[in-house]
Amino acid sequence: MYYVSRQCYWGVEPEDASVVEIAFGGRDYAKPDMLVPRWSDLGEGQEFEDPREVAKSAIAIWQKWVQEEPMAKIGYGYTFSPFEPSDIAEVLRWSEVEYSKLDKCTRCYSILPDNPYAYHYGGVTSEYEYCSENCAERGYEEEVKYQATFGIDSSSEPESVY
Task: Return d(Cα 139, Cα 51) in angstroms, integer.
Answer: 26
Asked whether position 107 contacts Zn ion by CB under 5 A, the answer is yes
Helix axes 88-101, 51-65, angle to 10 degrees: 160
Q: How far is the CB of 51 from Zn ion (least distance, A)?
A: 18
Q: Considering the complex, state which of residue 24 and residue 117 has its C-beta at the smaller distance from Zn ion.
A: 117
Q: How far is the CB of 146 from Zn ion (least distance, A)?
A: 18
Asked whether position 105 contacts Zn ion by CB under 5 A, the answer is yes
Q: Does residue 66 contact residue 20 with C-beta atoms inside 8 Å?
A: no
Among residues 23, 55, 135, 136, the one that binds Zn ion under rule CB under 5 A: 135
Asked whether position 108 contacts Zn ion by CB under 5 A, the answer is yes
Q: How far is the CB of 23 from Zn ion (least distance, A)?
A: 26
Pairing between β-strand 18-24 and β-strand 73-77 as defined by DSSP bridges = parallel
Q: How far is the CB of 142 from Zn ion (least distance, A)?
A: 13
**Host H or E run for residue 77:** strand 73-77
Asked whether position 112 contacts Zn ion by CB under 5 A, the answer is no
Q: Is residue 46 exposed (0-12), middle (13-18) or buried (19+ Cβ within 10 Å)?
A: middle
Instruction: List residues near Zn ion by CB under 5 A.
Output: 105, 107-108, 131, 135
